[in-house]
Chain A
Amino acid sequence: MFQHSGLLEVQVVGDREIHMRRGFNAPRALVFEAMTKPELIRRWLFGPPGWEMTVCEVDLRAGGKFRYAWRHEKGHGMAMGGTFVEVVPPERIVQTEKFDEAWYPGEMTETMELHEEAGRTVVTIRLVYELPEGREAALKTPMTDGMSLGYDRLAAVLEELV
């Protein structure tokens, strides 16, 4: 059994950024490995139920490219890729990325930082969209396909926001 490491915090900042933060019960080197090695990425980034990861290629070095693709059991798919700008194992990665089916304008730059404290790792992710419309579209991405979520409990959501 594993213990939950703490829920993901998501914040929208300004008009082009999304910030995320989450703790993991593992040392930093391990988290970094799990997030950058294709055979390990495939084991957690497989998508919501009904989806499978069909392509996972990572050339982990500044200037190197990465490419991910997923397919839904009903046949439709999606894919994304980008270029690593900065790679500092096991603490920092900067990369650009974009989905193939570009339904939003501009690229996005992601900066991921890993901080270790007492064997635990806190990962912070900063997504900066080239244009506000990009962030807008990202927040509304229909990538929850197949997930049924209820949002009518405003009070509960508010509690989380506060």
Chain B
Amino acid sequence: MNQAQRLDATFAALADPTRRAILARLATGEASVGELAGPFAMSQPAISKHLVVLERAGLISAGREGQRRPRRLEAGRLAEAARWLEQYREFWEARFQSLDVLLAEMQAPGLSARARGKKRK
């Protein structure tokens, strides 16, 4: 996978709330499939499907300890995707905070006509 495909796979994997919850759980430490399935009203095979998607996206990896295959977070990949998305979000949030200020001015009593450059209809 090139970087673009990797990022697409990462974002696709993050689009699902169960997978995000799994990542949040793994952020606190590694866990087995059974431990991950615990908090969800979902069978282990259903959880396993989500884990495959996360693994393909490079967001998690599976270790080996005897019979156990604990999953752990691959923070680097997630950080890469989160960085792009968060940067994008912060850019637009900053613009919209300026819009908040303008909207407040437009609604300030006595100022609205001038703030809006014309009279209200």
Using CB atoms and an 8 Å cutoff, list the residues of chain A in contact with chain B: 1-2, 4-5, 7-8, 10-15, 18, 20, 22, 24-26, 30-31, 33-35, 37, 39-40, 43-48, 132-133, 136, 138-141, 143-144, 147, 149, 151-152, 154-155, 157-162
B18-66 at interface with A (beta carbon < 8 Å): 20-21, 23-24, 27
Residues from chain B with a CB closer than 8 A to the CB of A20 are 92
Q: Contact size class for B?
A: 35 or more
Q: Using Cβ atoms and an 8 Å threshold, which residues of chain B touch A33?
A: 106, 116
Partner of B92, one of A8, A154, A161: A8
User: Can you sample 17 A-B contacts with CB below 8 Å?
Assistant: A2-B104, A10-B85, A10-B89, A22-B93, A30-B106, A33-B106, A34-B99, A39-B117, A40-B116, A139-B88, A141-B88, A147-B90, A154-B79, A154-B82, A155-B27, A161-B20, A162-B24
Give the A-B contact count at a CB cut-off of 8 A.
130
Using A24-B99, A34-B99, A159-B24 as known contacts, say yes or no to A10 and B92 having CB atoms under 8 A apart: yes
A122 to chain B, nearest CB (A): 12
Q: Which residues of B contact A45 (CB under 8 A)?
A: 95, 98-99
